[in-house]
Amino acid sequence: MLWADRIAGEIRDTRKPRDGKTFLIRDEKTLSGRVHVGSMRGVAIHGLISEVLSEYGIANEYRYELNDFDPFDSIPSYLDQEKFIEHLGKPLYAVPSPESGFANYAEYFGAEFTGVHKKAGFAPAYYRATEFYRSGKMDTYVKTALERAKDIRRILKETSGSDKDESWLPVSVVCENCGKMMTTRAHDYDGETVGYTCDRSPDETVPCGHTGRVAPWKGAVKLFWKADWAAKWSAVGVDIEGGGKDHSTRGGSRDVANHISREIFGAEPPFDMPYEFFLVGGRKMSSSKGRGTSAKDMADLFPPELFRLALIGKDIREQIDIDPSGESVPRLYDWYDELAEGVREGKADDYSRLFALCELPEKRAALMAPWQMRFREVAFVLQMPHLALAEEAVRAKGSPLTEDEKRALEERARYAKFWLATYAPEEFKYELQKEMPQVALSDVQKKALGALADYLQAGKRTGEELHLRLHELKTEIPIQPKELFQTMYRVFLNRDSGPKAGWFLAGLPHDFVVERLGEAIK
Ligand SMILES: [Zn+2]
């Protein structure tokens, strides 16, 4: 059973919505810069559970928080450091957008990120953290947390071993003088106001030194994040919310938030779905600055169904690892094509279920799985100036393409071209050598190429025939397979590896192949 069915089934069988009617599913992201693709895993897991519950006829709502009320704690490397340094420590909503046209920094990066959700077919109902604070919806939780600060300190100590001194309060005050929240320290609460000093120095910024008291309502303060997390579960009424593996350890932030939720706010925490990382080239979120690691970069690489497969194909307990500049891109296409083949053969199993879930819900009833040319082949043909993709596709399929197959081919070609121009590694780049490359061939190699030339001189051959002939030559000459194939690729592509040799040769102009082989054995 696929993870989404397993989890949705468990929710259906063991849980009741808090309001007795609709399950509320929630996820959030702090918009501190360009969002790493790892955060898409949460978007997709919550989104798919929502879709599957709907399929089961279970009412649910998916809400996504664009968190614009955390402090701007570091300047991403792709932004002008000088321009942004004065804003360090401010809430994200108070930091200017890197480009005009957006209300603030969080909105700018939020727009890019939600665009990626849309491409992957997820459409949660969005809200901002500031909406909840400014409207006063968080006030009752802020009040409780301040009144019970001692208990929160104890929970932190007991659950995560973190020591806070007796004046510590679970809120960050936004300084009335300089507008920063990372520079302040709240030290006492008298039931109406919170006393604070603005004297901490994050990085190079100089704290303003302001001291004052502030009524902690309507966004004047923000709960420290583990209490904030627990408070939102109650404020929003969350039934289902998973978290990344990094938050889900014993004593980790989820554990602390669970304790705060139960003890301080008197609410059972939401149904949890801890999930593994989405790695990029074997690396975690920490290296989020690299090219190809953002949600947008990854989404640009794939059509929607493939991007969904990348996000939902693995069980949530397994890591995802995709390297835009590695073989994982063609491999993902191969995986998708395998699933499609199963669907065309009429199989009804986990694979066809997964294929269906890669489609948007409205397309699942009349599931289409058109034949597709392998991504690797598309990428190769696109680089061979003498080949026409449409003809090669007909040849590969063995019959004319349907309209749907033609459309699928065009789309795949667009993505293959983009990949070749951006991330594709050298081993996927082919250049047919117009002139005979400089290669020193051994007698055995010459003998093998000579035999191949003789075989072709007798007439045109199909890919299958050439494939069989090459394999015969291994014993006939005899020659090591590696030596034979390397020679072939050297002579035509000036490299040691290439696509399937028989079909590759059959796809080249016949006279050109005969002539080149002749030159090589001279
Ligand atoms: Zn200040």
- pLDDT tens-place string over residues 222-254: 999 999 999 999 999 999 999 998 888 888 999
Q: Does residue 410 register a pLDDT over 90?
A: yes
Helix (H) or strand (E) holding 321: strand 320-322
Judge contact between 117 and 65, C-beta under 8 A.
no
User: Is the residue at 16 inside a domain?
Assistant: yes
Which of the four pLDDT bands, split at 50, 70 and 90, describes residue 212? very high
Residues 120 and 195 occupy one common structural domain: no
Read off the pLDDT band of 481 (50, 70, 90).
very high
Q: With 60 as the cut, is the pLDDT of residue 110 above it? A: yes
What's the 32 CA to ligand 1 centre distance in angstroms?
21
Ligand 1 centre distance from Cα of residue 97 (Å): 22
CATH classification at residue 119: 3.40.50.620
Task: Give the mean model confidence (pLDDT) for residues 428-442.
Answer: 91
Verify that 248 and 394 share a domain, yes or no. no
Q: Residue 70 C-alpha to ligand 1 middle, in angstroms? A: 16
Q: Ligand 1 centre and the CA of 199: distance in Å? A: 7
pLDDT (average), residues 300-305? 96
Compute, in angstroms, the gap from residue 456 CA to the centroid of ligand 1.
82
CA triple 317-318-323, angle to 5 deg: 145
Q: What percent of the chain is predicted at pLDDT more than 90?
A: 84
Q: If you measure from the C-alpha of residue 217 to the centroid of ligand 1, how many angstroms do you get, rounded to a whole number?
A: 18
Q: Are residues 210 and 254 in the same domain?
A: no
Angle between helices 328-344 and 350-358 (to 10 degrees): 110
Quote the pLDDT of residue 205. Answer: 64
Q: Is residue 56 part of a domain?
A: yes
Give the model's confidence band at 497: pLDDT under 50 very low, under 70 low, under 90 confident, else very high: confident
- Sorted by sequence, the CB contacts under 8 Å of residue 479 that are 6+ apart come out as 444, 445, 447, 448, 473
Indicate whether 287 pLDDT > 50.
no
The predicted model scores a pTM of: 0.90
**What pLDDT shows up at residue 341?**
95
Structural domain includes residue 123: yes
Ligand 1: distance of its center to the CA of 207 in Å? 6
How far is the centre of ligand 1, averaged over its atoms, from the C-alpha of 215 (Å)?
Answer: 16
Which two three-digit tokens encode residue 434? 């117009």
Average pLDDT over residues 51-59: 97
Does a structural domain hold residue 479?
yes
For residue 243, report the distance from its CA to the centre of ligand 1, in Å: 33
Task: Tell me the CA–centroid distance for residue 253 and ligand 1, in Å.
Answer: 28
Residues 127 and 234 in one domain: yes
At 289 the pLDDT is 53
> Where are the strands (E) in 140-245, listed by range?
171-173, 184-189, 194-198, 211-214, 221-223
Cα 332 to ligand 1 centre (Å): 50
CATH number of domain containing 514: 1.10.10.350
pLDDT score of 286 more than 70: no
Among 242, 263, 284, which residue terminates a domain?
263
For ligand 1, the distance from its centroid to the CA atom of residue 226, given in whole angstroms, is 24
For residues 335, 341, 346, 348, the Cα torsion angle rounded to the nearest 10 degrees is: -10
What distance in angstroms lies between residue 487's CA and the mean position of ligand 1's atoms? Answer: 71
**Residues 399 and 493 reside in one and the same domain:** no
pLDDT of residue 249: 86
Note whether 503 and 467 are within 8 A (CB): yes
Question: Does residue 290 lie in a domain region?
Answer: no
Instruction: Read off the pLDDT of residues 441-452 as tens digits, 9 standing for 90 and up.
Output: 999 999 999 999
CA of 294 to the centre of ligand 1 (A): 33
Residue 210 sits in the same domain as residue 229: no
CA of 83 to the centre of ligand 1 (A): 19
> From ligand 1's centre to the CA of 77, what distance in Å?
25
Same domain as 38, residue 106:
yes
Distance 209 CA to ligand 1 centre (A): 6
Are 425 and 458 part of one and the same domain?
Answer: no
Do the domain assignments include residue 149?
A: no
- Check whether residue 480 and residue 411 sit in a common domain: no
Ligand 1 center–CA 477 separation, angstroms: 83
* Same domain, residue pair 53 and 186: no
Please indicate, yes or no, if residue 142 is contained in any of the structural domains: no
Q: Which of 405, 429, 453 is the last residue of a domain?
A: 429
Choice among 121-125, 157-161, 425-429, 518-522 with the minimum mean pLDDT: 425-429
Which of 214, 245, 263 finishes a domain?
Answer: 263
129 and 175 inside one domain? no
Q: pLDDT tens for residues 365-386?
A: 888 899 999 999 999 999 988 8
Query: Which pLDDT belongs to residue 290?
Result: 62
Q: What are the tens digits of pLDDT across the range 23-47? A: 999 999 999 999 999 999 999 999 9
- The dihedral through the CA atoms of 283, 289, 290, 293 has a sign that is positive
Tell me the per-residue pLDDT of 500-513, one tens digit each, with 9 for 90 and over. Answer: 889 889 888 899 99
Using alpha carbons, select from 501, 479, 475 the residue that is nearest to residue 488: 501
Å from CA of 184 to ligand 1 middle: 7
pLDDT value at residue 39: 95
CA of 177 to the centre of ligand 1 (A): 5
C-alpha 174 to ligand 1 mean position (Å): 8
Tell me how far the alpha carbon of residue 179 lies from the centroid of ligand 1, in angstroms: 6
Quick one: pLDDT at residue 288? 44
Do residue 411 and residue 501 come from a single domain? no
**Alpha carbon of 200 to ligand 1 centroid (Å):** 9
How far away, in angstroms, is 181 Cα from ligand 1 center? Answer: 8
Distance 90 CA to ligand 1 centre (A): 10
What separation in Å is there between the alpha carbon of 189 and the centre of ligand 1? Answer: 19
Residue 71 belongs to domain spanning: 3-134+225-263
Domain count, the chain: 4
Are residues 461 and 494 in contact, defined by beta-carbon separation less than 8 angstroms?
no
Indicate whether 426 pLDDT > 60.
Answer: yes
CA of 102 to the centre of ligand 1 (A): 26
Centre of ligand 1 to C-alpha 178, Å, is 4
In a domain, 164, yes or no: no
- Compute the distance from residue 201 Cα to the ligand 1 centre, in Å: 10
Using the predicted structure, report yes or no on whether residue 301 has a pLDDT greater than 90: yes
